[in-house]
A = this chain, B = another copy of it.
Amino acid sequence: MNAYYLACDVGGTQLRAALYAPTIAQAVQQKRIPTVGKESATERLMMLIADIWPSEGQVLGIGIGVPGMADPETGIVYKAPNIAGWENLPLQQQLQDRFGVPVVLGNDANVALLGEWRYGAGRGHHNLLYFTISTGIGGAAIIEDQLLLGEHGLGTEMGHLTILPDGPLCGCGQRGHLEALASGTGIAHYVAEQLAAGVPSQLAGQACPNTRQIAEAAHQGDALARSAFERAGFYLGMGLANYLHIFNPSIVIFGGGVSQTGELIFAPMRASLEKHLMSPQYLADLEFAQVQLGDDAGLVGAYVLAQQQISRQRSQSRLSQK
């Protein structure tokens, strides 16, 4: 009989699901639907899972990547800001009740790093850091082959590191966080502010240029646009120095739209990192990489999560039956 893991990637725009064989990270089948519809997001997720459920064979378990704070231990989604109604939601229990198989939740950044570690840029490493830089800054850490979660799954909020007291406002309500300084939102806010203050730029006239437009202007030599990436890279390097002092990883993996601007942000980041490290030994054998799995990282990672957790639970329950 065929056996499968069912992986789901919950996003603000779309819900994706895939079926995987237990040992091969290649989806047997994939489906996606919009997150928003006349049903609730939870109902739509259940519809999608029912839709992809194999007509023959067994589902060993379901792994789900959630864009927000989720506790893998209790299976509760504390808060997923982009999914209406997902606050203190016992999602694991609801899905287990509905489908009768083990369900495991993970924060989307954690799940993406699991995918990259097993099947992407992080293969062969034991101590990994991951940063996804887009609208916000998310992150994850694997330490000696174990995902860092914390007591209630609230760890590795890597963007929410104060590095500039009284600095710009962060999406979370605090000030001067790495996310407020080096995310796409942080870059765009800075440019909008400078334009409003009358700093000359080819972007003048656009009310709120986005990161892509700012990157284009920077490539064309626009001084304000270049300085916006230099500033973001400077703070990113300062934050990264902090993280190297804490974790001493062997690889740092970057993902997210802003990291695709490449050297615009990475050149000033590296200069700032070197300036802020207390010892060059933190750079010994350290690799920098970009994500390799792209849009599929969430699905592949949810599959790895399900496989890890559920095979652990099965071996524990076998032990306790002996």
> Which residues does A use to contact B, with CB under 8 Å?
69, 78, 126-127, 143-144, 146, 148-158, 160-165, 170, 172-174, 238, 241-242, 245-250, 276, 278-279, 281-282, 284-285
- 12 more contacts with CB within 8 A, not counting A69-B281, A155-B246, are A126-B151, A144-B146, A146-B146, A151-B249, A152-B281, A152-B284, A162-B242, A162-B276, A170-B278, A173-B278, A174-B278, A246-B246
Q: How distant is A152 from chain B, measured CB to nearest CB, in Å?
A: 6
- Across-interface contacts of A249 in B (CB, < 8 A): 150-151
Q: This chain: how many copies in the complex?
A: 2
Q: Is the CB of A161 within 8 A of B278?
A: no
Query: How far, in whole Å, are A250 and B152 apart by their CA atoms in the complex?
Result: 9
Q: How far is the CB of A25 from chain B (nearest CB, A)?
A: 25
A67 to B45, CA, bound (A): 53
Assess whether A247 is in contact with B155, with CB atoms less than 8 Å apart. yes
Q: Which residues of B contact A285 (CB under 8 A)?
A: 151-152
- Are B250 and A172 neighbours in the complex by a CB distance under 8 Å? no
- A127 CA to B155 CA in the complex, in Å? 11
Which residue of the partner chain B has the closest CB to A250? B151
Bound-complex Cα distance A276 to B246 (A): 20
- Residue in B144, B153, B162 whose CB lies within 8 Å of A241: B162
